[in-house]
Amino acid sequence: MNPTQLDEVVVTATRTPRTMGNLAIPVSIVGSKTLYQSGSLRLNDILSEQTGLMITDNFGKGIQMQGLSSEYTLILLDGEPLIGRTGGVLDLSRITIRNIRKIEIIKGPSSSLYGSEAMGGVINIITDRAGQNKLDGSLRYARFSTADGSINFSKKFNQADLQFSSNYNRSEGYSLKPFALQKTVEPFWKSVQQLSYNQILSSHWKAGAGIRFNNTHIDNSISVQNLGNTILSKGFEKNGEFNLTPYVQYQVDQKIKSVLRGYVTGFNAVQKLEVKDAYGSYNDAFKQLFARLEQQTDIHPSKFSTLTLGGGLIKEEVSSNRYDSLSTVRKNQIAYIFAQHEQLISDKLTIIGGARFDANKAYASVMSPKLSLQYKIDSYWSFNLSYGRGFKAPDFRQLYLNFTNLAAGAYSVFGTEVAVPEIKRMSTAGLLEQTTDMYSRLSALKPETSGGLNIGFKYQHSNHINANLNLFRNDLSNMIVTDIIAYKKSGGQVYSYFNLKSALTQGAELNVSKQLSKKIHIQSGYQYLFTADKEVLNAIKNGMVYQRNQTTNLVTRMKISDYGGLSFRSRHSANLKAYYENAKGFFATSRLIYRGRWGTTDLDGNGLINRSDEYAKGYLQLNCSAGIQLNSNWKFMTGVDNIFNYKDIYNLPGNPGRVGYLDIQFNF
């Protein structure tokens, strides 16, 4: 029942199969049994229960890992990257977990293997493998007329196998404001279809391909004030995604295996909203295409060493009326090579070294090295150490975005390549009230770089307690942030992007699990996180930063204990989970999730999070589920998420409060 079994096989961490007990970097696994018994439907639901992972609720459900925001975590589906980010966030609610076999979570810089977006870590979603004969389905009904249905089919032939899955999910949405015309979450439906085929061609050759389609439709509406009347304007949002993954594999024997992988994925998004009267209309279109060809060869010179060599070419293009017009296509090309060598020095010591070189057509070339080691102290204890360099190039949004939201305060966001001419145009047209000091600091964006250190201790005892402690630190240079460069006469703000000279995230993560009996298993996790802008931290230490007392109105020097660090990060988070399962097929779970307060908005004008009213309140959430397998064909489950009915309409509008559900699974 433990989602972090140390004997699990992991592929993502080293690009080759390794047991968790032999890995030198922070890794956790969420297995199929945990996925089912949690009652989760979407990827964000199950990840929110994992230690050290925070779900953000801005531009969709994003993920925060080791204090690094969503754009620093690479999301893979069966080893291939997903695209279609909004504001740097890849919406995790796009991904159903109905056909997921397991989730591998790699924490810390992984750019040495996976490139730019893996600066903070990697989450690999591994779907059901083909090769077995089955046909099963599931139905779910929950609050807010939420319905979910899935069907999974696989068939094994003599030298081939076929797998197909389909999922449909819908909801009537909900409102956290009673009697409001506009719902907090609008009605929606989502559908996913996935098909894969694998063929053994000979004793050395194997080939296959997979294709996946993902579609979303959301009913959009917005209420605006006009001459004292509230007017509800309606529209829609449609997202479409496809993934095509052909491959050819050649394996001589157990010593050499080579795979040529192709990958083509596209993401299209359209959002239309007719905002009545003086507000005009809102029409947003976004298209992204990503293509990659990659070769990877694994060589085992001896039973004590493994060499992985690879390289590839990426071509990417984006068009959007947020950037310029749909007829203007922004393109980029990246060629890369990577190498990794794992060497068993002795029965106790293993060292892994690797590096990746990226030749980015839009930016200077970047080298990303990584070194890790594991030392087995005895049969129970092991020590891990890893250090890696990561990088992230500015994306199309940060360079070319030219977006004005007419409905929500008429604010504008400009990429650095268009900000200066747009400000000059608005000034000439008499639309600006004033520019800020940040406008004079506009310059070409530099790629972000980071150095990540992880130090870990593991204790493994199959019949007693399993525990792991990981200490981490990430030092970031040229971190890209947003700030206000001008104010409009209409009251709206104008934003653009800047490099923050240096920042850090550091902390500790502890996970403990214990099998109390054959039927009961418990596990717990805790993360302490400290984040900061290094320049601000040094200024506070030197007594150069001030704050105003809310009660006395007196101005005093800030102390480090007053500093809330980077916004939207909780200093404390924890979980406590209990699982019960008997031989008759009955199970019950109880999962308690805690997230401490997090900074949101500067209110006293010093640009920092330092007052109690600048934080969102922390919360405690309890999720419970119970189910039974009646026979080999039928499973029933029921549960309630968020039993304490926690809600925060301003900071977590995607949390609807208490939700009960009934789930039925059947096997034909």
Tens digits of residue pLDDT in 315-337: 999 998 877 777 788 899 999 99
Q: Is the pLDDT of residue 605 over 80?
A: no
Whether residue 33 has pLDDT greater than 50: yes
Q: Judge whether residue 16 has pLDDT over 50.
A: yes
Least confident of 126-135, 231-240, 316-325, 401-410: 401-410
Residue 642: per-residue pLDDT: 96
User: Quick check: 188 and 239 in contact, CB under 8 A?
Assistant: no
**What pLDDT does 7 receive?**
61
Domain presence at residue 528 = yes
Rounded to an integer, the average pLDDT of 531-555 is 88
pLDDT value for 35: 93
pLDDT of 19 over the 90 cut: no
C-beta separation of 22 from 372 below 8 A: no
pLDDT at 377 over 70: yes
The encoded tokens of residue 125 equal 């979603």
Contact 623, 594 (CB under 8 A): no
> What is the reported pLDDT for 88?
80
Question: Is position 3 within any domain?
Answer: no
Residue 544 in any domain: the answer is: yes
136 in a structural domain: yes
Q: Which of 386, 507, 363 is nearest to 449 (CA)?
A: 363
Q: Encode pLDDT of 452-494 as tens digits.
A: 999 999 998 876 789 999 999 999 999 888 888 999 988 888 9
Q: Please indicate, yes or no, if residue 2 is contained in any of the structural domains.
A: no
Which pLDDT score is estimated for 233? 72
CATH number of the domain bearing residue 249 = 2.40.170.20
Q: What is the mean pLDDT of residues 42-66?
A: 92
What per-residue confidence (pLDDT) applies to 390? 87
pLDDT at 231: 63
Amino acid at 128: D
Mean pLDDT of all residues in 516-531 = 95
pLDDT at 230: 62
pLDDT for 224 = 60
Helix or strand or coil: residue 474?
strand
pLDDT at 13: 77
The count of structural domains within the chain is: 1
| pLDDT band, very low/low/confident/very high, at 2 (cuts 50, 70, 90) | very low
Domain range spanning residue 26? 9-667
Tokens 């304490």 belong to residue: 644
The model's pTM is 0.91
Q: With 70 as the cut, is the pLDDT of residue 238 above it?
A: yes
Q: Which residue has the tokens 């902390």?
A: 507
* Highest-scoring range by mean pLDDT, 301-310, 572-581, 655-664: 572-581
Residue 226 has pLDDT above 60, yes or no: no
Residue 429, φ and ψ in degrees, nearest 5? -80, 0
In a domain, 86, yes or no: yes
Q: What percent of the chain has pLDDT over 90?
A: 61
- Alpha carbon distance 508, 305 (integer Å): 31
pLDDT band for 4, please (50, 70, 90 cuts): very low
User: What pLDDT is recorded for position 279?
Assistant: 52
In a domain, 575, yes or no: yes
Average pLDDT, rounded, for the chain: 89
Residue 603 is predicted with a pLDDT of 80
Q: Which of these, 32, 123, 31, lies nearest to 74 by C-alpha position?
A: 123
Structure tokens at 374: 């594991």
Residue 313: pLDDT over 50: yes
Residue 1 lies in a domain: no
